[in-house]
Amino acid sequence: MPEVCRLVVLISGSGSNLQAFIDSIARGELRASIVGVVTNKASATGLQRAQAANIPTEIIDHTQFATREQFDIELCARVQSYRPDLVILAGFMRILTPAFLRPFAGKLLNIHPSLLPKYPGLHTHQRALDAGDNAAGATVHFVTEQLDGGPAILQARVPILAGDNAEQIAARVLQVEHRIYPQAAQWFAENRVQLYNDRAVLDGAPLPNTGFIYQD
């Protein structure tokens, strides 16, 4: 891997995690370069964050493709043109097919707003509330063909407080997302974490199914 890890970031919305990566690189905490930001939505306000940081951007409108696979084939080709070492899903609201996933196997990360393996899919904070959980959180994981089921790398917990609603929990979780996602990418850039035999391996040791537990 080159000295500076080349990242492509995929977004669909505001790009708050993209901003966390931009800021982490600027502080010298993440030794990487974001070489491209790609979105499926021209309305994604995260494009403005990328442009402010002089990062090349591309819009690939998924509604212009007849099938999900055709979109993913085009997306794959466009992302590959940047020669990324690592692809970051940062609020990219598309379920990706093997046409995209397989070429980037082991080089594709996502962050999910729950303590995986709990609550894959949507409405994670409300589901945690409904279950009476005392904690919520976020998990960085390798992306595989199982939705939100790829091996966990790094996980952070936040308390669920009396009287919390889903929106309050979401705001608290987003703060820890912005810390742990660049950290996991730095581990990848340092070649400390890899996907091996469907397990996340950190410093040569397989991680548990919750990943490494982040501590402030």
Adjacent-strand bridge partners of 109: 88, 142
- Taking the C-alpha atoms of residue 213 and residue 201, their distance in angstroms, rounded to an integer, is 14
Triad 170, 175, 177: Cα angle to 5°: 90
Q: Cα-atom radius of gyration of the chain, to the nearest Å?
A: 17
Amino acid letter, residue 139: T
Catalytic hit among 62, 112, 123, 141: 112
How crowded is the C-beta side of 59, counted as CA atoms within 13 Å?
13
Residue 62 annotated among the catalytic residues of the structure: no
How crowded is the C-beta side of 22, counted as CA atoms within 13 Å?
19
Q: Catalytic positions, please? A: 112
